[in-house]
């Protein structure tokens, strides 16, 4: 089998349907056994349109402008890598199809112990160190470079634009700070940059968590269930989206001591300010409303993070940082009602196009 045939054979049809494929990325085993991450790509045949045309709004968009090639003449290919949030996985097909039609190769990564990467016997979403994800990010970038080269016939490495949501936004920001020169841009969709409340609340929480993280790191904390955000997103509640009940459960994953310590350490690093060398775009809802019970008001607010505190923290990520606010957006801006997410798609496409190489 040739190298090209071997690489192609690793891609398998994904649950998202036409044009979506996935590849397992084996990682080093940990105390729970084998570990993997999962790389997903959107690669529809060039002769066929994207699903749903790609929706009415995308059809209108592409009529107004030439569909750019994902490899522009004289420049490097352009690729987007998407990272999901906590108790989450990649499902944002509209986003993938919009950015593909805008001239980008689109990939997403389900991190270890999340979504497609969750194996039997594993503690969902658990890690005691956010730096552990460096391994799958490195593997994903290698595979993206290889795949883009095969698809374009060009040896020039692609410019990588990372797009990350919530916890994925925290992971991506810390990774980008440690890995200068790797990204063309970093787009953060409602990144979790601070504990709800303030740095004082975080400091108190760290002191409370530390003893448990040291002696019983997988100890779950008992918090009241807050399914209101799930209700706003799921088509079984008041939202539009089909959610896998194992990969994105109604009550989220249990919050554990070791994981909490790792997240709080990440928040502390952000408070000290990062030095990301790529331009950073942060997308946020217009306001926060966190409550246990669902009300219609939650369809137009972020029910997870403090957007005002996040906007302040965002300005300490990089020298070139922009914050875009979307009144009426959910925590995941790309899962908000159609008029809101359409505007976000357009803004992101324009932002990425401003940094093509």
What is the chain's pLDDT, residue by residue, as a tens digit (357 residues)? 444 444 556 999 999 999 999 999 999 999 999 999 999 999 997 644 344 434 444 444 444 343 445 555 457 899 999 999 999 999 999 999 999 999 999 999 999 999 999 999 999 999 999 999 999 999 999 999 999 999 999 989 999 999 999 999 999 999 999 999 999 999 999 999 998 765 555 565 665 777 667 788 898 887 767 789 999 999 999 999 999 999 999 989 999 999 999 999 999 999 999 999 999 999 999 999 988 889 999 999 999 999 999 999 999 999 999 999 999 999 999 999 999 999 999 999 999 999 876
**Beta strand pairing call for 321-326 and 280-285:** parallel
Angstrom distance (rounded) from CA 128 to CA 23: 25
Structure tokens at 351: 């932002």
Angstrom distance (rounded) from CA 218 to CA 220: 6
Inter-residue contact 158 to 78 (CB < 8 Å): yes
> 219-223 long-range contacts, Cβ below 8 Å, gap at least 24?
219/256, 219/257, 220/254, 220/255, 220/256, 221/254, 221/255, 221/256, 221/257, 221/260, 223/255
pLDDT of residue 82: 98
Angstrom distance (rounded) from CA 299 to CA 297: 5
Inter-residue contact 71 to 154 (CB < 8 Å): yes
Which residues are registered as beta bridge partners of 325?
Answer: 284
Residues near 27 by beta carbon (within 8 Å), at least 6 away in sequence: 35, 36, 37, 112, 135, 136, 139
Inter-residue contact 79 to 113 (CB < 8 Å): no
Tell whether the torsion through CA atoms of 340, 345, 346 and 347 is positive or negative. positive
Closest CA to 114 of 165, 79, 80: 165
Structure tokens at 27: 């990682």
Structure tokens at 101: 């039609």
Structure tokens at 266: 């990440």
Tell whether the torsion through CA atoms of 178, 117, 338 and 81 is positive or negative. positive
Inter-residue contact 330 to 303 (CB < 8 Å): yes
What one-character DSSP code corresponds to residue 71?
B
């Amino acid at each position: 089998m040739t190298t090209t045939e071997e690489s192609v054979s690793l891609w398998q049809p994904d649950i998202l349907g036409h044009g979506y494929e996935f590849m397992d990325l084996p990682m080093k085993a940990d105390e729970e056994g084998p570990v993997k991450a999962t790389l997903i790509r959107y690669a529809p045949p060039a002769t066929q349109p994207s699903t749903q045309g790609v929706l009415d709004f995308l059809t209108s968009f592409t009529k107004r402008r030439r569909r750019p090639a994902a490899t522009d003449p004289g420049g490097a290919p352009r690729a987007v890598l998407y990272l999901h949030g906590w108790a989450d996985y990649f499902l944002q097909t509209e986003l993938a199809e919009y950015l593909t039609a805008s001239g980008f190769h689109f990939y997403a990564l389900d991190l270890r112990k999340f979504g497609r990467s969750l194996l039997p016997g594993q503690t969902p979403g658990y890690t005691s160190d956010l730096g552990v994800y460096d391994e799958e990010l490195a593997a994903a970038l290698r595979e993206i470079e290889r795949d883009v080269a095969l698809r374009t016939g060009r040896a020039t490495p692609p410019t990588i634009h990372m797009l990350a949501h919530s916890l994925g936004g925290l992971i991506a920001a810390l990774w980008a700070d440690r890995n200068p020169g790797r990204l063309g841009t970093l787009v953060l969709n409602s990144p979790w940059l601070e504990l709800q409340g303030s740095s004082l609340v975080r400091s108190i929480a760290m002191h409370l968590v530390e003893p448990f993280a040291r002696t019983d790191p997988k100890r779950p904390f008992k918090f009241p269930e807050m399914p209101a955000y799930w209700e706003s997103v799921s088509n079984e509640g008041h939202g539009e989206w089909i959610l896998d009940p194992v990969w994105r459960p109604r009550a989220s994953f249990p919050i554990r001591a070791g994981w909490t310590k790792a997240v709080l350490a990440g928040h502390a690093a952000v408070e000290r300010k990062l030095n990301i060398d790529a331009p950073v775009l942060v997308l946020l809802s217009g306001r926060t409303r966190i409550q246990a019970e669902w009300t219609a008001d939650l369809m137009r607010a972020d029910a997870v993070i403090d957007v005002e505190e996040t906007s302040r923290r965002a300005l300490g990520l990089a020298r070139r940082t922009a914050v875009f606010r979307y009144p009426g957006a959910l925590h995941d801006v790309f899962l908000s009602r159609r008029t809101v997410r359409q505007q976000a798609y357009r803004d992101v496409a324009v932002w990425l196009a401003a940094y093509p190489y």
